[in-house]
Amino acid sequence: MEPFKVTILGCASAKPTPRHMPTSQIIDFRGNLFMIDCGEGTQIQIMKYGIKLSRLRRIFISHLHGDHCFGLPGLLSTLSLMGLNGEITIHLPEEGMRVLKPLIDYSSHAQDITFAPYSYGNNIIYEDDTIAVNTMPLRHRLPCCGFVFREKPKLPHINRAMTDFHGVPTCMFNRIKNGEDFVKPDGTVVPWQRLTTDAEPPRSYAFISDTLPLKAVASEVKGVDLLYHEATFAESEAERAKQTCHTTAAQAANIAKSADVGRLIIGHYSSRYDEELELLNEARAIFPNTDLTYEGMTFDV
């Protein structure tokens, strides 16, 4: 199966720690790289973990707090200095055109950069023949969106035993995969379903950045294979989480449970936690298929 995997480059909250870098992730979808958020030092993490920058074509910024976007000028400048001058599209909140674009324009001379501002809401902001990416509004101290990456359904596979049996010429295979029946020379109709096998089910990944816990998120990410949800605090700090518009590990797990997702991974840890087992245990008590994220980890979707 073609790759669809997520690599964690940073999973700290606003205050980096000696153990964690600010938020950034790389999605490898069929060999094409997408980045979500770009906190300070992201370009160092990319080189550390051997990410092929030449395959990076799209960057998605969830909101304009510095720990999610201040690494962007540095990353693009590094790409310019390395001579990797391919086209890159930056999907960012509309306000980012005023805040970030001037600095990027000034510091990244050799890049062929396209800015694609998105509005705050539920919108498809990127789509091709194989995948669609949509935003969902979150509730933070400034406008913030999550992202859902949904693979499009694949065509069914040809069942060679059946096509050989019925004498189907190879020139018909694509038409059969697209739902056309095969008609034999004697007029017998062989339904296309008899000549194919089901394709693998489409895969999906949801990234939920800084936010209060929202019931609407559970609806938007219903049934995704892999959900990343911020879990900045333990439940003992629920009031602090509410004041700062963040989520506890237990709240993130409740969303995963309500949404019936395949797997939950949590991150965006507060610097008050020297280690995150408290958060993991809290989440697993509600949604057992939960894992912590750490820099350098890769998760298959």
What residues act catalytically?
Answer: 67
Residue 150's region, left for phi above 0, alpha for psi from -120 to 50, else beta, is beta
Q: Is 201 exposed, middle or buried (0-12, 13-18, 19+ CB in 10 A)?
A: exposed
| Token pair in block for residue 47 | 């080189």
| Token pair in block for residue 279 | 């958060």
- Our separate counts of H helices and E strands in the chain read 11, 18
Contact 3, 29 (CB under 8 A): yes
Strand, helix or coil for residue 55:
helix
DSSP state for residue 237 in the 8-state scheme:
G
CA atoms of 289 and 253, how far apart (whole Å): 9
CA atoms of 224 and 256, how far apart (whole Å): 9
Residue 30 makes CB contacts below 8 A (sequence gap 6+) with 2, 3, 4, 130
Nearest to 89 by CA among 57, 118, 64: 57
Length of the chain measured in residues:
301
Helix 277-284 with 249-259: angle, nearest 10 deg: 30
